[in-house]
Amino acid sequence: MSLILVDGPNLYNDVGRYLAIQEPPPRSYFTDWFDIDRLVRATVPEIDRWKNDLGIVLVHSRNKLGESGAAHHLAGAHEVDPFWARQGANPRSSSLLIEIPGSGGKKEAGVDVAIVTYLFETMTSWDLAILFAADADFVPAVWSLRRKGKSILCASRDTGQRGPLVQACQDYRPWDAAFLDADAAMARALEHDGAFDKFLDAMAHKHPRVSVKGGQLIVSSTTKAQFDGNDQNKLRDALKPLHNFGLSPVGGQGPAPSLVLTPGADFPADRAAIVLEGVARQARRSPGARWKQLFS
């Protein structure tokens, strides 16, 4: 049995710091698109094969997300309840709110202690725990649990340094940065009134439909009019941010009823599928972007 515990606020801010040095995604990436469970699955892909696990527990407070400095203009401070409710509603996920009366709004008071407490309270139910955390405060608890025969793995942003928690755990997984880059790029490419929306508007006479199937993003014409080479080039331009994906027409180089976005040779198909799972989730979430209205 396995358990995955996530230090929610620290992970959120670390993602903000990481993406701040990349090409920034739209603000809506954090408020609407980013899914912790998908980052977990991209980083530890074998969990999709585990049948008897305790799921992903996201520990957080009511403090506003985002911070001054590098992460602020990306993550931004915003209402936390909708964000954590959305995270807890994702597959195999639950959110654990920590509130300490009289803490005076101290930053993330009690979150680390709650994670340690949860580990010990549930220790008879798991053999392997995966901590999405980097705080050295967890080190004594990790050593204690290891002395009791438990296996502990930790996962965090790869900064090139191996801190005390990494040294205490039996194994370490850096976040799948390629997944994060591709996920943020997808959010840029598909943002409201962006290049993809404009392409679909230009193709309105072909009544396009958008779908995600078999790890591919598919744009189909629902009329007899097919997509020609000029249309294919326009879509390639619209989806330029997606460096890890390639576009191909169905049926060869001539006019085609569908254009298919597939993962590139250097991007694992299972990671690409997790990125495209985010697209399908977005289509079911907040309205706005043109492509969501055409999603099937």
Q: What is the pLDDT, as a whole number, of residue 21? A: 85
Phi, then psi, of 147 in degrees rounded to 5: -65, -20
Residues 157, 17: contact at Cβ < 8 Å? yes
Q: What is the pLDDT, as a whole number, of residue 105? A: 55
From 175, 195, 210, the end of a domain falls on 175
Q: What is the pLDDT, as a whole number, of residue 37? A: 96
- Give the pLDDT confidence of 135-178 residue by residue, as tens digits: 999 999 999 999 999 999 999 998 877 889 999 999 999 999 99
Which of 49 and 189 is assigned the larger pLDDT?
A: 189
Q: Which among 217, 208, 233 is positioned nearest to 273, based on CA atoms?
A: 217
193 secondary structure, DSSP code: T
3-state DSSP assignment of residue 4: strand
Indicate which CATH number applies to the domain containing 145: 3.40.50.1010
Distance of alpha carbon 7 from alpha carbon 59, whole angstroms: 6
From 175, 203, 228, the end of a domain falls on 175
Please check whether residues 43 and 148 belong to one and the same domain: yes
From 124, 153, 175, the end of a domain falls on 175
Please check whether residues 12 and 153 belong to one and the same domain: yes
Q: What is the mean pLDDT of residues 226-242?
A: 92
Distance of alpha carbon 63 from alpha carbon 40, whole angstroms: 23
Q: Which among 219, 269, 278, 277 is positioned nearest to 244, based on CA atoms?
A: 269
Please check whether residues 138 and 271 belong to one and the same domain: no
| Non-local CB neighbours of 36 within 8 Å, separated by 6+ positions | 6, 8, 11, 56, 58, 87, 90, 93, 132
Show the domain range for 209.
180-293
Please check whether residues 257 and 147 belong to one and the same domain: no
pTM (two decimals)? 0.91
3-state DSSP assignment of residue 44: coil
Structural domains counted in the chain: 2
